[in-house]
Amino acid sequence: MTTSVAFDTERWSSDELDAINARFRNAPSEELLAWAADTFGQQLVLTCSFGGASGMVLLDMVARLGRGTPIVFLDTGLLFPETYATAEQAAHRYNITVEYQRPALSLIEQDAQYGPKLHDRDPDRCCGIRKVKPLADALAPYDAWISGIRRDQSSTRAATDLVQWNAKHQVLKISPLAYWSERDVWRYIHAQHVPYNPLLDQGYPSIGCAPCTSQAAGENTRAGRWAGKGKVECGIHL
């Protein structure tokens, strides 16, 4: 059994975080994940959208590591059927339990309180209710959070490092694929036969809630989200 080491990450200096980033900068992502599992034990969590390819790579790596790291899926109630099917397929493939984290308000309750189609009228508020707050609730019990974001996905993610302190959620945010390219991700998926959302083969470079996701083949990996809204992030990584 792995025993986690107690760290007060708020007290880590920038030099200490820099040292961790330097240590794993050229190491396989699996080594960073093993370090995280050794360090945090069951206080480490992976969030997976079952929409993006990067998250599926990390899910595969975490499952292969075999430490029983908790897996959280933010179920907004507005996802594509293919996304739910991918979550079920992965749970069966890896013999893991996926925790579905849902908003406090059902869609009916949200419509009653804010009016119908909030996602169209005020996407930031809708994301706040259905994604940002549920993520905060999901991360509250944990000390470290594994995320699949990459530097090449958008300008808002270009400064992502392997390990960063996330003051918003009071956790150490670990992004093992920060320096991977889209090509790296797909090379791993094909080599390891990793299951992934079939919509990625149908012109969707990024998959979120169905009403706010459109096809945008050939564009950057955040294209197709909130088209015409001047928005590329739901807020969970800001």
Please write the tens of the pLDDT for every residue from 87-136: 999 999 999 999 999 999 999 999 999 999 999 999 999 999 999 999 99
The position carrying tokens 């992004």 is 175
pLDDT tier, 2 (very low <50, low <70, confident <90, very high otherwise): very low
pLDDT of residue 44: 98
Give pLDDT tens digits for 143-187.
Answer: 999 999 999 887 888 989 999 999 899 999 999 999 999 999 999
Catalytic hit among 48, 126, 127, 234? 234
pLDDT higher at 175 or 222: 175
pLDDT tier, 34 (very low <50, low <70, confident <90, very high otherwise): very high
Hey, what domains does the chain have and what are their CATH numbers? 9-212 (3.40.50.620)
**Per-residue pLDDT at 224 exceeds 80:** no
Contacts of 201 (CB under 8 A, 6+ apart): none
Give pLDDT tens digits for 38-63.
Answer: 999 999 999 999 999 999 999 999 99
- 234 noted as active-site residue: yes
Residue 153 to residue 133: CA distance in whole angstroms: 23
pLDDT of residue 94: 98
pLDDT tier, 23 (very low <50, low <70, confident <90, very high otherwise): very high
DSSP string, 188-222: HHHHHT----GGGGTT-SS--BGGGB---TTS-TT
